[in-house]
Chain A
Amino acid sequence: MPTQYNFREIWNKKNTDIPSIEEVKTKAENYRKRQILKDVGMMVMMFLSAITVIIVWISARFSFFTTKLGIMLLLTGVFSFIYLIYQKVNILKKVKTTTTNQEYLLTMKKAEQQQIYIQTRGLGFYYILLSLGFAFYFYEFALKMSSAGILLSYGLTFSWGLFNWFIVRPRRIRKQREKMSAVMQSLERLEKSFED
Chain B
Amino acid sequence: MHDLNFDEIYHVYWKKIFRLCMGYINDDEMAKDLCQETFIAVFQQLPNFRQESNIGTWIYRIATNICLRQIHVEKRMPKSELPYQMKDIPGKEDNPEQEKMTDFLYQCISELPELERIIISLELEGMKQKDIADVVGISAANVRVKIHRIKEKLTEKFTKYANPI
Q: Which residues of chain A are within 8 angstroms of B40 by Cβ–Cβ distance?
A: 24, 27-28, 31
Tell me whether A5 and B98 are in contact (CB under 8 A).
Answer: no
Given contacts A18-B15, A92-B72, A186-B71, contact A101 B137 (CB under 8 A): yes
Q: Which of B61, B71, B98, B151 contacts A13 (CB 8 A)?
A: B98
**B14 interface contact, C-beta 8 A:** yes
Given contacts A102-B136, A193-B113, contact A13 B102 (CB under 8 A): yes
Q: Which of B106, B115, B162 contacts A14 (CB 8 A)?
A: B106
Q: Which residues of chain A are within 8 angstroms of B72 by Cβ–Cβ distance?
A: 92, 183
Cα of A119 to Cα of B126 in the assembled complex, Å: 44
Tell me whether B136 and A101 are in contact (CB under 8 A).
Answer: yes
**A45 interface contact, C-beta 8 A:** no
A contact patch SS? helix
Tell me whether A100 and B102 are in contact (CB under 8 A).
Answer: no
CB distance from A84 to the nearest CB of B (A): 19
Cα of A32 to Cα of B106 in the assembled complex, Å: 34
Cα of A15 to Cα of B96 in the assembled complex, Å: 14
Q: Which residues of chain B are within 8 angstroms of A105 by Cβ–Cβ distance?
A: 68
Tell me whether B105 and A7 are in contact (CB under 8 A).
Answer: yes
**B45 interface contact, C-beta 8 A:** yes
Cα of A105 to Cα of B68 in the assembled complex, Å: 8
**A187 interface contact, C-beta 8 A:** yes
**A11 interface contact, C-beta 8 A:** yes
**A103 interface contact, C-beta 8 A:** yes
Given contacts A7-B105, A7-B154, A18-B11, contact A98 B45 (CB under 8 A): yes
- Give residues of chain B (49-66) contacting chain A, Cβ–Cβ below 8 Å: 58, 61-62, 64-66
Tell me whether B14 and A18 are in contact (CB under 8 A).
Answer: yes
Given contacts A8-B126, A28-B44, A186-B76, contact A194 B102 (CB under 8 A): no
**B7 interface contact, C-beta 8 A:** yes
Q: Which residues of chain B are within 8 angstroms of A16 by Cβ–Cβ distance?
A: 15, 18, 28, 32
Given contacts A13-B99, A24-B10, A24-B43, contact A3 B68 (CB under 8 A): no
**A59 interface contact, C-beta 8 A:** no
Cross-chain pairs A/B with CB under 8 angstroms, 28 sampled: A2-B159, A5-B158, A7-B105, A7-B151, A10-B98, A10-B101, A10-B102, A11-B102, A11-B105, A12-B19, A12-B124, A13-B99, A16-B15, A16-B18, A16-B28, A16-B32, A18-B10, A21-B10, A23-B36, A24-B39, A97-B45, A97-B62, A97-B66, A98-B58, A99-B137, A100-B137, A102-B138, A183-B75
Q: Which 3 A-B pairs have the closest CB atoms?
A: A102-B137, A100-B137, A11-B124
Contacts from B to A (Cβ < 8 Å): 6-7, 10-11, 14-15, 18-19, 22-23, 28, 32, 36, 39-41, 43-45, 58, 61-62, 64-66, 68-69, 71-72, 75-76, 98-99, 101-102, 105-106, 113-116, 118, 121, 124-126, 134-138, 151, 154-156, 158-159, 162
Given contacts A3-B158, A23-B36, 8 further A-B contacts (CB under 8 A): A7-B124, A7-B154, A14-B18, A19-B36, A24-B43, A101-B115, A101-B118, A104-B68
